[in-house]
Amino acid sequence: MGGFSIANNLNSDAIELNLRRAQARLAQSSRELSSGLRIESAADDPSGLAISQGLQTRVDAFNGASQNVTNARNAAAVADGALSTVTNILLRIRSIAVNAASSISSTQDRADLQTEIAALLDEINRISQNTNFNGQPLLDGSHSGFVPAQAASLDVTANTVLASSSSIAGSGLLLASAVFTTQALQPTIYFRILQNVTASPAAQTVKVSDAAYIQPGSIFSLDGATVTVQSVDAANGTVNAVFSTNVATGDLASSILNANSVGAIAVGTQLVTLNSSSQPLYAGETLQVDYGTFATNEVVVVQKVMSPSSFIATFTKPHAANASFFNINGTFISGGFGPGNFSFNFGGTPTDGAPIGSTAYVVETTNGNFPPPNGTTTQVVATGTVIGGSVASTTINFPTKIPNYFGGAWEVLTALGYGSTPLVSTQDGTIKLQVVNTGVSIAVQETYYDTASQTAVTSPYLLAPNERALLFDGVYTTIGNVSANDVGSTAYIKVHQASAAITAANQPALSVLSGSEEGDAIDLGLPSVSTASLRISSVTVVAPNGGDPTIAAQDTIGQIDYALASVLGTRAQLGATIVRLGEDAQNDDTAAVNLQSAESSIRDANIGAASSEYTLAETNVQVGLQILAQANALPEQVLKLFR
């Protein structure tokens, strides 16, 4: 049964509870409206706070990355501006060199021009050293990072084809072709003729075995005659060659030379005569000298053939009369081994190790005839790579098992050489060719200008029309069918030698963190543009040692062209990087906006809903206070019972 109670005001307690709840909702709504956030602490929404905080971290990271990218773009723009100035300087130097290439310029004129060139070179070095962004050097190589290898290149700068530039009847090609030597790293090979051939002074295209391993320009013995290879089509298995005798299918073209020198040989460029030679010589052929004597053993390259048994070569060691000459490095093996690394002793013929990185051939001959290349079929059945060795042995890696196609005999053939020691000069320079009249014949004289030493050397050995030679800087030159009408004409071959790739561990590229995660970076490599790195520190238009002044100017033109190509290549890379960084910045900004939106949807207050909640809570509090006041007044009604 119910009644009045003064010990407990139950109505007041219930109303007070609802009032506290309304006040709590009012306080929450007030915080949301005043801060604009739905979640201010973990108590508001634990999981929501964790998610939104993670999103906000990514937003801050993308904003920071966008600033990084902007700074990198600005640095790249500074570098490109400096490179623009370097480009203009190089163009000015080239213009000076073109002016100086004319013999009309006086000695004083050239000296004045060289003074300007020297000042411009100093300015390039100053720009290289002083260009920086926020204290970070940009163009001195401090941030070059990985520098890729540069392949060797040849540029013919004048009068390549006289027939097309002159209307004089009878004029021909001054320079039919110019190519770098590769045979210093190629084994001597032999091959089979796979069709009948009728002798002819004109070159013929003939099917042969192992076309892929035959070097253009090589000369082979065959049935007491010669086969002169003009070109090779490895895809079709053919060579274009001149045959001095009739050839039957299956005949073997061999190039094995074994002879001795007639007289003693001194150090330097020498004329060598062999006492006998069944194998014709050719320019570019590698020969081992004194292969049985360790102290004087060396490898030389035939630079010019003087007769069937004499040639020009450059020697680094003296050799006594009757020195042995050999052109093949090989040993007989048992087939079927591999894959893996195998060592071979070439003692008994040459005792010289093969060049590191060169190719080795495995030749198999049919019918088990021993030694190769006897038998009816000769074929290269495998190749390997020389990976090490010594004077007495060579280690070769074969990636696959050596096959046994014919059940025959096998021979390993390698190139001659001393490890990685170059057999020819490999400096930047210019080769000048000039048609001269000796009074007896029309010939071509070669002069070589060395860029680094600023010295010129003229070969005393003249080249006849259609002759091929390797006189300077590892370049084969093949003379065209020049005539008396071409006397005085010149051609220039600008030589840029190869440079190896460099991993600049102490000069890392500029690393730009362009994203929100660890490792999300872009490396910006900025190579040095000093005169040394551009290979122009020695350029000059002054006559070297009182020689022909025009060849120095021609060489300068070629070197500046190389430098321009390098600088413009760097600028193109920078431009591409600037574009990429722009896209990266835009991506960072877009990601930051989208992630901020996601974070906002979780953590931000809904102002409309919060306003409604605030109004409702405020009304409930006011009503609750009124009701509570009346509920607290109810116990006073008990006093009326005592009146």
The reply to whether omega before 508 is within 30° of 0 (cis) is no
pLDDT the model gives residue 160: 47
Confidence bin at 171 (pLDDT 50/70/90): very low
Give SS3 for 377: coil
What does the alpha-carbon distance between residue 483 and residue 478 come to, in Å, rounded to a whole number?
A: 15
Which residues contact residue 486 at a Cβ distance below 8 angstroms, ignoring those fewer than 6 apart? 162, 166, 168, 171, 172, 174, 435, 442
The percent of the chain in helix, strand and coil, each rounded to the nearest 5, is 35, 30, 35
What does the alpha-carbon distance between residue 80 and residue 92 come to, in Å, rounded to a whole number?
A: 18
Whether the predicted pLDDT of 632 surpasses 90: no
Pairing of strands 304-307, 359-365: unpaired
Chain centre distance of CA 264: 44
Residue-wise pLDDT for 244-273, tens only, equals: 889 888 888 888 888 899 999 999 999 999
Partners of 302 in beta bridges: none
Residue-wise pLDDT for 453-482, tens only, equals: 899 999 999 999 888 899 998 888 888 888
Domains of the chain, CATH where assigned: 54-147+505-543+557-590 (1.20.1330.10), 153-178+425-495 (no CATH), 182-256 (2.40.30), 258-326 (2.40.30), 330-423 (no CATH)
pLDDT the model gives residue 304: 93
Closest C-alpha to 302, from 289, 291, 290 = 289
What does the alpha-carbon distance between residue 543 and residue 111 come to, in Å, rounded to a whole number?
A: 10
Judge if pTM exceeds 0.85.
no
Whether the predicted pLDDT of 138 surpasses 70: yes
Confidence bin at 163 (pLDDT 50/70/90): very low
Residue-wise pLDDT for 174-204, tens only, equals: 888 888 876 566 788 888 899 999 999 888 9
What does the alpha-carbon distance between residue 237 and residue 194 come to, in Å, rounded to a whole number?
A: 10
Residue-wise pLDDT for 522-552, tens only, equals: 788 888 999 999 999 999 998 777 778 889 9
Closest C-alpha to 353, from 404, 407, 419 = 419
Q: What is the maximum alpha-carbon separation in the chain?
A: 160
Confidence bin at 1 (pLDDT 50/70/90): very low
Residue in this structure with the two tokens 């990087």, named with its chain if needed: 577
Residue 48, token pair as written in the block: 């929501």
The lowest-confidence range among 4-13, 171-180, 183-192, 609-618 is 4-13
Whether the predicted pLDDT of 19 surpasses 90: no
